[in-house]
Structure 1
């Protein structure tokens, strides 16, 4: 018997995924009079932060690599006394509190998997879902896809990998469950991502003999710079605005000089020297990796040429025997529920999809994508800004981008396929804020200008102007900037004054 299809009310918006992005989308849709219906395959919300979720890649003892200020939404701070870097359990508790105080619990359909999403014959989007043996077919006028970027491990093609015979086997970092089983054993960690270096460091200080193999050596930032969380100093508004006024070679040289000043060159610690072009080399983060290399706890090798049993041949001819391999090689973009026609329209592959500002497509009306980019830096402020823009568009607070604007944006996305897939957090944040009309006017707040330029790019710093401004935003922005003793007063340093002069015209023009 043919399954009956239900046409959902015009006001209903489907949100696929109840991780941070999906929760933010639901909160802001509801705040503007729309009724979100949140589909979540797991029995509990939280996405990556829910360790019981099938696609979660967290491990016991894992902590955030961004501070509590930058790992929060604008409407809910972390509990007083929280550590600078939060545990997985604390983050899951935070997201559950956010859902509760935002009134989202009735919107959640937990243990409900979306099996397919396709354009409906009469307009809108047909979602087929399954829960507890029951299947549903529903048509929504609007849908937000917020399933996250890190659900499907990317496993590189390495000759002999499937036949690796070390006693601890070969796994992806998504399957890592702590250092204990590796104690006293020789482990190869492949990759230079944050998770790869954090796992390698944990293993090294947990009693394992560790080798790291890199395709290329990246510059490595610590989590803290002189006691200040790195993202407060590196991913701020001034850094984003500089990108609009400096030519790329000058921008790269300035960024490299700053990274070397605060973190040093990996070659100083005994790792390979990265490419002089910091954009070609890339940036990663770990508090303990480079010190562990300097102490001889971690050896660094070139990439893997081939594997024969438990023996690994590295490029350049060096070899080693290993008990286990952990692949910290990232994740591929995967949206298996999309029908073939929609995936083809998006140009979807393992890395890319062609969207206007990572969100809309002119040929897919009513469909939005949230948080499916490879972001460098803190996610939650960016997810909230994108969620606000989407909700503002759907609710009519700001106009939807025109067909011509979206077509131009898709063209930009296609042109960028040849470049690095990663998006810097501060660049994404300002882009979404401008689209939503909530980028603060620096000229209107001279006493807050230093905090806004050189303090953390927190979610609450985008609640000063535009829709949904908060009366206490100024005090909270000042408090976030002054945290850790970073920006405690409005007087600029000489270096900051010089940067301010460079970006002032860009900042003023973007706020106008």
Structure 2
């Protein structure tokens, strides 16, 4: 890659670090902008960015063998499901091993990214500007809390918080607690609270999910699922659901609502401990909320319960504040991207990590980073814009058929995607041999705007 080609990476979490490494590997001049004071993004608790949702009991919900970067395996003596602090240390070690920190501008928020003639102008929060040939957006999407919308009717006299702001269970001591949600954070928080709260912790959900223990038949459960990856997903689903029923039964067996979709359609919740606390009465399942009434919550089955504190574990929304709707539309969750990486109107704007995987994130962002780097180095050619659009449309139809209307643009099948990216890389090299034009950056002097 010509030294005049410069790439801005936004974010130094797992996705941004992978992008920085991949670009350096192909000879790019990389400047990575990170709002926090250290690498690791959302995994780095107490990061100066204030965006990390990591809490004291947080652990991986995918096993280390299915989570680690291919270029940087996790230590063999680590547990199968490392803590958030171990993952943060792992990402810091990745940064150190490959010399990434010297290319990262810590404490630098990005205010805007705009197209200007044949380059991208990145403006920081302090007003500094710089020009780049390409931009990789890797700012993550699990930091902007999603609150119930519209809000539930009525008023609540107790305290409310979002799971994003939870750090440890002491805030629940001797309080009557309601956790709303059925994701991994909801289960972790309900379990934590159950040891210190007053009475059973109430766990409310309008829709059910599959609860998958971290081990099935003596192996990490995602490794068991990975062994079925060669099967069509519908067949894989039937086999995996049968295995799950044999191992732990159905969610209804524990008083939880039936899953809204089949396994591998809606993201399962990975937890060993929630089923234990439910069967011992320390966590009590409740249906959706009907309304709030002072110090009482009324549920859709007519029951009402006194509650002192509500934790809304209602997920996150995608937020890319530095890009205008011209580039991400009114809802970035619906942004169409070729191979979930390249913007259809201008592939010099790439995204790493803007996806929702059925498995771990790290191997996916590593593959995406290498695809973007191959493109920007001229070692891979994209198909025609028409073919890109056809591929995106075809992928969206398949995703909608499988996952419905909940973030279908963002959904990927972990194993299938990781198998597809090497094939796409090979196809891009073949396009070059047939005369397709690779990515080129305009020749220009200097870099400051």
Match of 2:171 in 1: 181
Mapped to 1, the partners of 2:419 and 2:354 lie a distance apart of 17
Match of 2:446 in 1: none
How far residue 28 of structure 1 moved from its aligned partner, in angstroms, is 0.8
Mapped to 1, the partners of 2:340 and 2:351 lie a distance apart of 7
Mapped to 2, the partners of 1:77 and 1:276 lie a distance apart of 34
- Distance change (3 Å), C-alpha of 1:253 and 1:27: same
- Distance change (3 Å), C-alpha of 1:44 and 1:374: same
Aligned with 2:370: secondary structure?
helix
What's the TM-score once normalised by structure 1's chain length? Answer: 0.76
1:429 aligns with 2:418: yes
- Distance change (3 Å), C-alpha of 1:84 and 1:405: same
Match of 1:129 in 2: 124
How far residue 20 of structure 1 moved from its aligned partner, in angstroms, is 0.4
Cα contact 2:134–2:349 (8 A) shared by 1: yes
1:93 aligns with 2:89: yes
How far residue 356 of structure 1 moved from its aligned partner, in angstroms, is 1.5
- Distance change (3 Å), C-alpha of 1:100 and 1:401: farther
What's the TM-score once normalised by structure 2's chain length? Answer: 0.86
1:14 aligns with 2:8: yes
Mapped to 2, the partners of 1:436 and 1:262 lie a distance apart of 40
- Distance change (3 Å), C-alpha of 1:203 and 1:29: same
- Distance change (3 Å), C-alpha of 1:384 and 1:279: closer
How far residue 207 of structure 1 moved from its aligned partner, in angstroms, is 4.7
1:49 aligns with 2:54: no
Which ranges in structure 2 are unaligned for 5 or more consecutive residues? 428-449
1:314 aligns with 2:299: yes
1:401 aligns with 2:383: yes
How far residue 69 of structure 1 moved from its aligned partner, in angstroms, is 2.1
- Distance change (3 Å), C-alpha of 1:276 and 1:65: closer
Match of 2:441 in 1: none
1:147 aligns with 2:139: yes
Which ranges in structure 1 are unaligned for 5 or more consecutive residues? 1-7, 439-512
Q: Mapping of 1:191-270 within 5 angstroms? A: 191-208=181-198, 209-236=200-227, 238-239=228-229, 241-243=230-232, 248=234, 250=235, 252-270=237-255
Mapped to 2, the partners of 1:159 and 1:403 lie a distance apart of 42
- Distance change (3 Å), C-alpha of 1:85 and 1:140: same
Mapped to 2, the partners of 1:336 and 1:63 lie a distance apart of 29
Mapped to 1, the partners of 2:74 and 2:308 lie a distance apart of 41
1:111 aligns with 2:107: yes
Mapped to 1, the partners of 2:146 and 2:245 lie a distance apart of 30
Match of 1:342 in 2: 327
- What do residues 44-74 of structure 1 show as CA deviations (whole Å, max 9, x unaligned)? 2211012223211101232222222233212
Aligned with 2:67: secondary structure?
coil
Structure 1 moving runs of 4+ over 6 Å: none
Match of 1:165 in 2: 157
CA RMSD, aligned part only?
Answer: 2.4
How far residue 303 of structure 1 moved from its aligned partner, in angstroms, is 1.1
How far residue 143 of structure 1 moved from its aligned partner, in angstroms, is 0.7
Match of 2:432 in 1: none
Match of 2:59 in 1: 63
- Distance change (3 Å), C-alpha of 1:333 and 1:106: same
Mapped to 2, the partners of 1:175 and 1:316 lie a distance apart of 30
1:351 aligns with 2:333: yes
- What do residues 411-449 of structure 1 show as CA deviations (whole Å, max 9, x unaligned)? 2465456534343322332232332349xxxxxxxxxxx
- Select the structure that is richer in helix: 1
- Distance change (3 Å), C-alpha of 1:437 and 1:260: farther
Mapped to 2, the partners of 1:258 and 1:349 lie a distance apart of 38
Mapped to 2, the partners of 1:162 and 1:147 lie a distance apart of 36
Mapped to 1, the partners of 2:102 and 2:204 lie a distance apart of 47
How far residue 117 of structure 1 moved from its aligned partner, in angstroms, is 0.9
Mapped to 2, the partners of 1:392 and 1:67 lie a distance apart of 29
